[in-house]
Structure 1
Amino acid sequence: MKVSDLRGILQYVPRFRERIFVVAIDGEIVASPNFANILLDLAVLRSLSIKVILVHGAAMQITQLAAERGVAISNADGTGITDEPTLKVGLEAVTNVMGEVMQGLTSVDLRAVYSNAIIAHPAGILSGVDQLNTGRVERVDTKSLHLFLNEGIIPVIPPIGYDGEGKTFRVNSDSVALEVAEAMGAIKILYLSAYDGVVVDGELVGTLSIAEAEDFVKKHRGTGLVETGLISKVEHAVKACRLVRVPRVHLLNGLKDEALLSEVFSQEGIGTMVYSNEYQQIRRVYKKDVRAVMALIRQSVDSEELVKRTRADILAHLDDYHVLEVDRNLVGCVALHVYAEQGIAELACLYVHKNHEGQGYGRKLMNYAEQLAAEKGVKQVMALSTQTFNYFQQKGGYTESTPDILPPERRKKYDASARNSKVMIKNVSVVAPLEASRV
C-alpha cells in the first residue's frame, strides 16, 4: 500500500467513526473463496471504530441442499411462497451458513453473535395467493443490537424472522438489511453479491441518484435483460435512500478482492452507489477555495496547458469560477468570463484532476459553464486552447474560429501572451433549469 492510499483512507475515518454500516452478503458470496478476504475487510472496518451489522442470505445454499435432498422448493430467496418443505430445507441451509460465517469471523479475531433480532409477521395473501411461511419484517430488536455493537460485537442476522409465539418465517435478506439499517440509523448499506453493480450499455455506472435508480428499475423490471437479484437490490437501495433516508447504498461484486474497502474508502469506488444526498456537485468558488484551486491546476499550468493565474487574478473574478466536488473533495474547475457588450463568454480554466479523468467530469463542467452562459443571455461561448482544442471539438462540439472574434480587451491579452492559442466557438441555448446541472 502506498502512503497516499493510507492518507486517502484516513480522510474518511472521522466521518465514519462510531457510525453503523449494514453489510448484506448473499449466500453465494459466503460460499466463495473471496469470503475470507471480506472478513479481513470487516476487521479493518472494526479497527477504525466503524460499527458493523452483518446480514447474510442463503438462496444458493437452499437451492443446493434441496437438490441434494430431492426436495422441490417453492422459493429460494424469500420473495415468493415458502411451503413447509421449503422452510425446513431453508432452516437447515441457514444453519449451515451461520456456522461458516461464525467460524470465519472467529478466524479474524472478531467477536460476533448470531441474532434473532428480526420480529416478523406472515406476508399474508398477495394477489389472492397465500404466501404461507414467507414473512415480512414487523420490527427490529434495536435494543439488543445496540448492546452488541457497544460491546464491540458484530451482530449476524440471518434471513429468518420470528413472531411473538416463536413461529418461524423465511424473509428476504435484501429486505432485512433495509429494515435493520432504518431501525439502527445506519449511514450505509453495502450489498455484496455476484453482480458488479448497475451496467448500462456495457459500462458500469458508478453513481445513481434516486431518480436514476428508479428509472433503471422501471425500464428493466420484468424484461429478462437484468437479473431479478440485481433488480431487487436496486429497488431496496431506492427505498433506503428515499423512504428510510440512508444516505448511500452500495452494490458491489463480493467475488472481487478488496471490493468492500475500495468502495468505502475511495471517491470513485468500484461498484454502483445509489445516493440520496449531494454526492457530487458543481458550485461557485469561495475565497477559502482559492488556494485549493491553484493547487489543483498547478500541474496543468506548469505544462503550459492552462494560463498561469495568481491568487489576485482569481479573487478579482471570483464569481466567474466554479468547482466540481466529489465527496467534498475538489476534483475539477471551470471559469466563465462574460463579455456582455459583445454577447459572448469565454469558457476558461477547465481542468479535471488526473486521478478523475475518464469519468465525464470535464464534459459536465463544460456543459455547466455553457448553460450558465445561456442563463446570462449569452448566445456564444468561446474557448482558447493550445493543447486541448481537439477535446473541445470532439467532446464539446466547438468549431475553430479566428482571434478576430475576441472582444477588444480579450484580444489585447491574447496578443500579449504570445501563446498563439487556437480559438474555438460554439452557439449555446438554455436547455434546462440551472439547478439540473448538479451532478
Structure 2
Amino acid sequence: MNVSDLRGILAYIPQFREKVFVIAIDGAIAASENFPNLVLDLAVLRSVAIKVVLVHGIAHQLKQLSLLLHTDLSDTTGIGITDQKTHELSLIASSKVTFQILEALSASDLRACATNAIIAHPFGIVSGVDYQLTGRINKIDVPFIEYLLQKNIIPVIGPIGFDGEGKSYRINSDAVAQCMAEALHAEKLIYLTTYPGILDNEGNLIRELDVQAAQEFHKNFSKSQPEQLRSKLEHAIHACKNGVNRVHIIDGRMDEALLSEIFSNTGIGTMIYANQYESIRPARKKDIGAILKLIQEPIESDEILPRKAVDIARDLQSYYVFELDKQIVGCMAVYPYPKTSQAELACLSVAKSHENQGIGRKMIHYAEKLASQQGFKQLFLLSTRAYVYFMQKGGFKEADPSILPLERKIKYEKTGRNSKVLYKPLQ
C-alpha cells in the first residue's frame, strides 16, 4: 500500500467511524489461502473505529466432512431440509470455522467472541414437507451484540440459531447476515464469496445496482448463474429495503479486496444501494480545486477552454459537480442567456476513473432539466473534439454559429477555435 492509497482511505474515515459493518464470510473464503490477509484487513477496519460483526457460512466445510465420513447430506445451504445427521455435521463444521476465525483474530490481537445471539424457531412444515432441523430467524439479541461492540469485541456468528429450550437449528448464513445488518442498522453489509460479484448474462461484472434495478435483474436471473449469487442478491435487496444503506458482493479470495471495496468510490465487486449514492449539486468554493483537477487534462488536449481558479470563482453560481461517495468525479457549467431564452452547457468533464459509467449523460440530462425549469427554450454547447459524443449520447444537433447569443458569438469568433456549435430544444 502506497501513500496515495493511505490518503484515499483517510478520506473515508470520518464517514465510517463508529459505524457498523456486517461482514459475511463464506465457508470457502475461511478455507482459502487469502483468509489470513482478510483478517489483516479486518484489523485495519478496527483501527479506524469501524465496528465489525462477522457472520460465517459452512457449506464448504460440510461438503468436506461429508466426503471424509462418506455421509450423504440432506442440504448444505441451510435452506432445504436438515436431517439429524446433517445437523450434527453442521454443528461440527460451524464450531470448526468459528474456532478458526477466533484463532486468526487473536493472531492480529483482536478480541472476539462466539455468540448465541440468533434466536430461532423451526422452519416447520411447508407444502407438506417437514424441514426438520432447518430453522428460521425469530429475532436477534441486539443488546448483546451492541454490548460486545461497545467493548471493542468482534461478535462471531455462525449459521446456527437457538430457541428458548436450548435446541439448535441450521440457518442460511446469507439470511443471518441480512437480519443482523438490519437489526443493527448497519452502514454496510459485505458478502465475501468466491465470485467477483453479480454477473450479467454475458458474464460481465455489474459494478452497481440500485434496489429497483436489482429487483428487476433478480426476476430475470439466469439459471446458468450460481445459486450462491442468486441468494446473495436476494438478501441484499431485502437488506437495502429494510434500512441498510449499501450491500457489497465481492471476491474474498483477492488480496486487499475488502479494503479496495470499502475505501474507493469504484470498488472491485458489485454494490447494491438503497440511499442516494450519487448526486449532482451546485459547486461550492471549496470545490474549485477539484474542478481544476478534473478539467486539467481536457484543457491540455484542447477539448475545453482554459480556466483558472479566479474564472471559476467568478462564475461559481453556474457550476455543478457530480459527487460520488463524497468524491467529486464530474463537473459542468450552465451559463444563462436570458435575453435569448438560451442556456449554454460548458466545461463538462468526467474523471478518467469514472468514464463509461453514464455520468456524462446524467449531467447532460440534469443541465437540460435545470435550464428548462429556469424557463430557457434551448440548450447549446461548443465542442472541438467531443461533438460526436454529445450528438450520439445527448441528442444534440449541429447548427450554424449564427444561433449563438450575440455576446457568446463574439467570444466564439475571438477564440478562433472553430468549435462545432450544437443545440437541443428544451421542453
Whether TM-score is above 0.5 comes out as: yes
Percent of paired sites with the same residue: 50
**Counterpart amino acid of 2:181?**
A
Residue in structure 1 matched with residue 350 of structure 2 by the alignment: 352
Is residue 286–residue 318 contact of structure 1 (8 Å, CA) maintained in 2? Answer: yes
Residue in structure 2 matched with residue 236 of structure 1 by the alignment: 235
Residue in structure 1 matched with residue 192 of structure 2 by the alignment: 192
For 1:407-426, list aligned pairs within 5 A: 407-425=405-423
Q: CA deviation at 1:114?
A: 1.5
Residue in structure 1 matched with residue 79 of structure 2 by the alignment: 79
Residue in structure 1 matched with residue 26 of structure 2 by the alignment: 26
Q: CA deviation at 1:364?
A: 2.1
Q: CA deviation at 1:71?
A: 2.4
**Counterpart amino acid of 1:232?**
S
What do residues 274-332 of structure 1 show as CA deviations (whole Å, max 9, x unaligned)?
Answer: 11211111123345545543454344335543223456655665554322110122211
Distance in 2 between the 1:253 and 1:208 partners? 17
Distance in 1 between the 2:136 and 2:232 partners? 16
Q: CA deviation at 1:371?
A: 4.2
**What is the DSSP-based 3-state SS (H/G/I as helix, E as strand, rest coil) of the residue aligned with 2:220?**
helix
The 10-residue stretch of structure 1 (165-174 or 115-124) with the greater mean CA deviation from structure 2: 115-124
**Counterpart amino acid of 1:217?**
H
Is residue 371–residue 428 contact of structure 1 (8 Å, CA) maintained in 2? Answer: no
The 10-residue stretch of structure 1 (271-280 or 196-205) with the greater mean CA deviation from structure 2: 196-205
Give the 3 Å change call, closer, same or farther, for CA 109–286 of structure 1 in structure 2: closer
Is residue 336–residue 345 contact of structure 1 (8 Å, CA) maintained in 2? Answer: yes
For 1:22-421, list aligned pairs within 5 A: 22-200=22-200, 201-220=202-221, 223-243=222-242, 245-286=243-284, 289-290=287-288, 292-309=290-307, 314=312, 318-339=316-337, 342=340, 344-373=342-371, 380-421=378-419
Distance in 1 between the 2:372 and 2:65 partners? 63
Is residue 379–residue 426 contact of structure 2 (8 Å, CA) maintained in 1? Answer: no
The 10-residue stretch of structure 1 (45-54 or 367-376) with the greater mean CA deviation from structure 2: 367-376
The 10-residue stretch of structure 1 (70-79 or 330-339) with the greater mean CA deviation from structure 2: 330-339
**Counterpart amino acid of 1:100?**
Q
**Counterpart amino acid of 1:169?**
Y
**What is the DSSP-based 3-state SS (H/G/I as helix, E as strand, rest coil) of the residue aligned with 1:262?**
helix
Is residue 116–residue 161 contact of structure 2 (8 Å, CA) maintained in 1? Answer: yes
Distance in 2 between the 1:151 and 1:338 partners? 57
**What is the DSSP-based 3-state SS (H/G/I as helix, E as strand, rest coil) of the residue aligned with 1:203?**
coil
What do residues 85-109 of structure 1 show as CA deviations (whole Å, max 9, x unaligned)?
Answer: 2111211222222232222222322
Aligned length: 426
Distance in 2 between the 1:46 and 1:294 partners? 35
**What is the DSSP-based 3-state SS (H/G/I as helix, E as strand, rest coil) of the residue aligned with 2:169?**
strand
The 10-residue stretch of structure 1 (1-10 or 91-100) with the greater mean CA deviation from structure 2: 91-100
Q: CA deviation at 1:170?
A: 0.2
Distance in 2 between the 1:405 and 1:202 partners? 47
**Counterpart amino acid of 2:205?**
L
**Counterpart amino acid of 1:227?**
P
**What is the DSSP-based 3-state SS (H/G/I as helix, E as strand, rest coil) of the residue aligned with 1:169?**
strand
Distance in 1 between the 2:371 and 2:74 partners? 60
Distance in 2 between the 1:400 and 1:158 partners? 62
Q: CA deviation at 1:190?
A: 0.6
**Counterpart amino acid of 2:306?**
K
Unpaired stretches in structure 1, ≥5 consecutive residues: 431-439
Distance in 1 between the 2:245 and 2:190 partners? 12
Q: CA deviation at 1:11?
A: 1.3
Is residue 370–residue 428 contact of structure 1 (8 Å, CA) maintained in 2? Answer: no
Q: CA deviation at 1:418?
A: 2.1
Q: CA deviation at 1:154?
A: 1.5
Is residue 111–residue 153 contact of structure 1 (8 Å, CA) maintained in 2? Answer: yes
**Counterpart amino acid of 1:233?**
K
Distance in 1 between the 2:100 and 2:309 partners? 59
Q: CA deviation at 1:235?
A: 1.6
The 10-residue stretch of structure 1 (310-319 or 136-145) with the greater mean CA deviation from structure 2: 310-319
Distance in 2 between the 1:105 and 1:428 partners? 61
**Counterpart amino acid of 1:405?**
I
Is residue 181–residue 244 contact of structure 2 (8 Å, CA) maintained in 1? Answer: yes
Q: CA deviation at 1:43?
A: 1.2
Q: CA deviation at 1:394?
A: 4.6
Is residue 337–residue 345 contact of structure 1 (8 Å, CA) maintained in 2? Answer: yes
Distance in 2 between the 1:128 and 1:375 partners? 59
Distance in 2 between the 1:197 and 1:218 partners? 17
Is residue 324–residue 331 contact of structure 1 (8 Å, CA) maintained in 2? Answer: yes
TM-score (norm 2): 0.91
What do residues 342-369 of structure 1 show as CA deviations (whole Å, max 9, x unaligned)?
Answer: 5544321101123323333222212332
**What is the DSSP-based 3-state SS (H/G/I as helix, E as strand, rest coil) of the residue aligned with 1:71?**
coil
Is residue 116–residue 161 contact of structure 1 (8 Å, CA) maintained in 2? Answer: yes
Is residue 208–residue 275 contact of structure 1 (8 Å, CA) maintained in 2? Answer: yes
TM-score (norm 1): 0.89
**What is the DSSP-based 3-state SS (H/G/I as helix, E as strand, rest coil) of the residue aligned with 2:265?**
coil
**Counterpart amino acid of 1:241?**
C
Is residue 374–residue 428 contact of structure 1 (8 Å, CA) maintained in 2? Answer: no
Is residue 248–residue 270 contact of structure 2 (8 Å, CA) maintained in 1? Answer: yes
Distance in 1 between the 2:133 and 2:32 partners? 29
